[in-house]
Amino acid sequence: MLQIDPNEYNSQNLFRILQGGIAPRPIAFASTVDNKGNHNLAPFSFYNIFGINPTTLIFSPSRRGRDNTTKHTLDNLKEVPEVVINAVTFDMVQQMSLASTEYEKGVDEFIKSGFTPLESKNIKPRRVAESPIQFECRVREIIETSGKPGSGNLVICEIVYIHVDEKIFDENGEIDPDKLDLVGRMGGDYYVRTSGNAKFIVPKPLTTLGIGVDALPDHIRLSNYLTGNDLGQLGNLEKLPSESEIKLFRANTDVKSFSADTQKLHEYAHNLIAANKVTEALIILMTRV
């Protein structure tokens, strides 16, 4: 395994490793304005939500590694501490990428990228009409981490108004990831989207107490054929199957066809888990004699 001391490693290579290894990242498509009324639009993937009371979004327009200069977004925020953070969808991604071009100061990326500007309700920067979710924010604080090339500038924002397109909700009033179709940033030129096969569900272990991987019998826990994800799902079950459940299965199934061959048994259970039949998979695994 490659061993890296970040204080001694080439900064460009370190940046590539961090971008590729900490991913996917949401994208803050930030709209700002300077004190002369010049509007700016730029994407930043060092971004996330950090609380709701108060609502706290943080993104970081880092200093440029090549010459230690700052982005127009950061300069604008120091003059007018307000920003609209627009969500980025798959339908917008190419125009968003164009807006990341380092145009000269005063060039309006709304015009360059072809996005439609909308007046905000409570702040000066404009919203991106094509974005289905727009967060109007006021900047509470900017933390400059070092002032060195490539260093971060944490822009701590509080949401003061939200605009959401009703079309992205499902019948239960929840945001439908397929309808929203956000994109996330990865390393290099890679992106990921939140629709289709790129997304999957992992039930949160919040309302139930899983038995844990340590509660599984050794032949399951130490399996050469079950994956870590398989074990995680088995360990998230509330209890081991009872003897009566196992006996009932044995009485209604050709147990020998499952339990005689460990590889066959575990691979069959793996396929059941993939089909979201986790309890059935554990019962089958427990038929081993």
The rounded mean pLDDT for the chain is 90
pLDDT of residue 255 exceeding 80? no
DSSP of 266-289:
HHHHHHHHHTT-HHHHHHHHTT--
Q: Given this model, what pLDDT does residue 258 score?
A: 63
List CB contacts of 253: < 8 A, sequence separation 6 or more.
287
Q: Would you mind telling me the total number of residues written for the chain in this entry?
A: 289
Q: Given this model, what pLDDT does residue 206 score?
A: 58
DSSP 241: P
| pLDDT tens, residue by residue, 33-62 | 999 999 999 999 999 999 999 999 999 999
Block residue for tokens 């002369």: 36
3-class DSSP assignment, residue 126: coil
The values of phi and psi at residue 229, to 5°, are -65, -35
Predicted TM-score of the model (pTM)? 0.82
DSSP of 244-256:
HHHHHHHHHS-HH
According to CATH, where is 2.30.110.10 located in the chain?
11-195
List CB contacts of 17: < 8 A, sequence separation 6 or more.
4
| pLDDT tens, residue by residue, 64-121 | 878 888 899 999 999 999 999 999 999 999 899 999 988 889 899 999 999 999 999 9
154 to 58, 101, 104, 142, 192: CA distances (angstroms): 6, 21, 23, 5, 24
How sure is the predictor about 229, in pLDDT bands with cuts at 50, 70 and 90? very high
Higher pLDDT, 132 or 205: 132
Query: For the domain 11-195, what is the CATH superfamily, name and number?
Result: Electron Transport, Fmn-binding Protein; Chain A (2.30.110.10)
Cα R_g (the chain), whole angstroms: 25
